[in-house]
Amino acid sequence: MPEKMIPLLPCRTVQPVVDFYTALGFETTFFQKSPYPYAAVERGRIELQFFAMKEYDPQQSYSGCYVVTDDVETLHAAFRAGLKAAYGRIPTRGLPRIGPLKDMSYGMRQFLMTDPGGNSIRVGQRISEDRSMRPAPKETFARALHMADLFADSKEDLPGAAKIIDRALGRTDEHPTPVQELRLLVLRGDIARRLGDEGLAERLLTRAADLPLTATERESARDALARLAELRE
């Protein structure tokens, strides 16, 4: 019999977490209120279990897991649609939230979502057989994007990612390509919004939207443009 590993994740209260995963298309396969709150949810081959802790602070959570799929685009679209139907909008900040699809430097195309318990669920698809971390590029703005992506969407260190981008955008001795500038501005605007700085977010996203791009550049930047459109809704 093949082994199976099931993450056991903490939360403060179980019901909001179960409701979140129900919106994503999961089925509740176990639920108890006593002797302690506990629940299990399943969607296909994905199974997650949750236990409640009264003093648990979801904002300080470091727990999570990684789900590997062979169709990340479809899963991302399905999760977004489910959340919009359940919440009336697609939550992109606070708890819960779902992030954009992004190609990462370790050979995965992934998105991050965080449930009401603060658990970070990464969902990704392999886009390279090389599973090693790519070395950081030497070119200034490619390196800034590489590091900022890792800080924002792997380490989840938003202030650290913001510093990297601000330093790159503040340079006067060299300039990014239009696609690099767009990606930097969109990621920085996204970070500003997630940190609650609406004024800065609006200025950065407007600046990104005003950048002139060729058809080839727009195709190269399709993920960033999709995120820009979403953030400006």
Mean pLDDT of 107-136: 88
Least confident of 115-124, 130-139, 156-165: 130-139
pLDDT cut 70: percent of the chain above it: 98
Tens digit of pLDDT for each residue in 19-67? Answer: 999 999 999 999 999 999 999 999 999 999 999 999 999 999 989 999 9
Clarify whether residues 99 and 174 are in a common domain.
no
Last residue of a domain, one of 120, 151, 186: 120
Clarify whether residues 143 and 102 are in a common domain.
no
Whole domain around residue 176: which residue ranges? 135-228
| Residue 23 belongs to domain with CATH number | 3.10.180.10
| 196 lies in some domain | yes
pTM: 0.82
Clarify whether residues 106 and 157 are in a common domain.
no
Clarify whether residues 80 and 141 are in a common domain.
no
Last residue of a domain, one of 54, 85, 120: 120
| 2 lies in some domain | no
| Integer Cα distance of 130 and 79 in angstroms | 28
Clarify whether residues 144 and 219 are in a common domain.
yes
Number of domains forming the structure of the chain: 2
Clarify whether residues 79 and 103 are in a common domain.
yes
Clarify whether residues 13 and 116 are in a common domain.
yes
Clarify whether residues 153 and 197 are in a common domain.
yes
| 1 lies in some domain | no
| 92 lies in some domain | yes
Instruction: Decide if pLDDT at 1 tops 80.
Output: no
| 3 lies in some domain | no
Clarify whether residues 58 and 89 are in a common domain.
yes
User: What is the distance of C-alpha 59 from the center of its chain?
Assistant: 16
Clarify whether residues 13 and 94 are in a common domain.
yes
| 126 lies in some domain | no
* Structure token digits, residue 217: 């550049």
| 61 lies in some domain | yes
Clarify whether residues 106 and 172 are in a common domain.
no
| 127 lies in some domain | no
Clarify whether residues 188 and 155 are in a common domain.
yes
Give me the pLDDT at residue 156, please. 84
DSSP letters of 59-101?
GG---EEEEE-S-HHHHHHHHHHHHHHHHSS---SSSSEE---
| Integer Cα distance of 147 and 138 in angstroms | 11
* Structure token digits, residue 140: 């200034």
116 and 58 Cβ atoms separated by less than 8 Å: yes
Look up tokens 């209120």; give the residue. Answer: 33
Last residue of a domain, one of 62, 94, 120: 120
Give me the pLDDT at residue 131, please. 63
